Amino acid sequence: MSGGMFRDGRGRSYLVPFMLVASLFFLWGVAHSILDVLNKHFQDVLVISKARSGLVQAMVYGGYFLMAVPAGRIIRRWGYRAGIVTGLMLYGIGALMFIPGGRLMSFPFFLLCLFVIGCGLTCLETSANPYMTVLGERKSAARRLNLAQSLNGLGWVVGPLVGGLLILGDDSDISLPYAVIGSVVIVLGVVFSRLRLPSPEEEEEDCRQERQRTAKRPVWKVRSFRWGVPALLLYVAAQTGINSFFINYVMEASPGITARTAALMLSFGGMGLFMVGRLLGSVVMRTVRPAVMMTVCSSGAVICMAVVILCSGAAGIAALCLTYLFESVMFPTIFSMALSGIHGEQTKTASSYLVMSIVGGAVAPVLMGIIGESSMAVGFVLPLVCFVCVWGYSFTYKMMNNHENINNHRNI
């Protein structure tokens, strides 16, 4: 039997487990995107600087750095389901901690809540991202992950919308959205603890020999993976920095726009294009190779960032929103490209390192806050540099693969 997008080489279907786990992508999309509203909210309510408000993202993404390796050990020992359940429980506990946090209104306590959420999201991503890549034939891994990430894009739309309405209002209650999210996530954790998720073969029968040959090879010897880790780190740094100061940039570029209006622009303009881009990406990659797609998109993102820095008003805001379309496919595509030369149990190890690279999101907001304290447009030099590096990885990916194929041939 032939494989397919949701079938392995033996014809076994993984559509149902794909749908179940893909639903989780929405949840961490909401968790990440609502941070961008919190960033501006804490600046205004707690009267803190842009650089200090960047700690909101730093605590969540710092959790990725500290929890990624333990999360990888959890899924290697107990499987993908254990990683997912652990992630949901930590995510839910961190969200519910916002209830007492709303009474205390202590910035350090909020940072603690966000750190716990970050640890939970790490377990979810370490489990769900590689699981998506093995639920069907390997050549469809990038398309499958992009499709699942489309639900993540929907979460990125909902987060700023809910946050803008509930958190940035005159009678805002910061604990309400997190109380709802936390309750839902805890229930899902209980549900997933009782589900049986299959552990599919990661390759078709005719790839077994290659998998056995490369299974003992250290993941850092794989060139496309070794350079994929910093590429993913820089992409996440760019994405997080842009999200963190979208509202600040829009309000500076067009002073008549309020924080709530800017949040809605982030939701429907930026995140809306982000979701559309991921849906289009899963379709376009039927005929276009992932590396080609990445080269084109990273080129577009570089151009948009240049316009954001050099222009203001409507032109700068339009370019900032358009950046979301170009960056939409980058995370899942870089993730699958980096794993393309990894096989067997090494996939779980490699995945934990890739998820650890999300720590780039902890650094970028703080640096952008410092650089852009007087003018936010200047701060966008940082994501510009990051996108240039991502372009370099995409452009040289084919050469990396050719290098790996030559080495594998010599080892036969």
247-269 pLDDT, tens digit each = 899 999 999 888 888 888 988 88
Question: What is the model's pLDDT at position 205?
Answer: 42
**Is pLDDT of 326 > 60?**
yes
Instruction: Say how far apart CA 42 and CA 53 lie, in whole Å.
Output: 7
Q: In the prediction, which pLDDT does 369 show? A: 85
Assign residue 136 a region (left: φ > 0; alpha: ψ between -120 and 50; beta: otherwise): left
User: How high is the pLDDT of residue 356?
Assistant: 85
Q: Is the pLDDT of residue 1 over 50?
A: no
- Give yes or no for residue 408 having a pLDDT over 70: no
One DSSP character per residue, 174-209 reads THHHHHHHHHHHHHHHHHHHT-------SS-GGGHH
| pLDDT confidence tier of residue 169, bands split at 50, 70 and 90 | low
Confidence band of 410 (pLDDT split at 50, 70, 90):
very low
- Tokens 């084919």 correspond to what residue? 398
Is residue 145 within 8 A of residue 337, CB to CB? The reply is: no
Read off the pLDDT band of 203 (50, 70, 90). very low
pLDDT over 60 (residue 407): no
> pTM for the whole thing?
0.74
Pairwise pLDDT comparison (323 vs 141), residue with the higher score: 323
What average pLDDT does range 212-233 have in this prediction? 79
141-145, 169-173, 355-359, 364-368 — which is least confidently predicted? Answer: 169-173
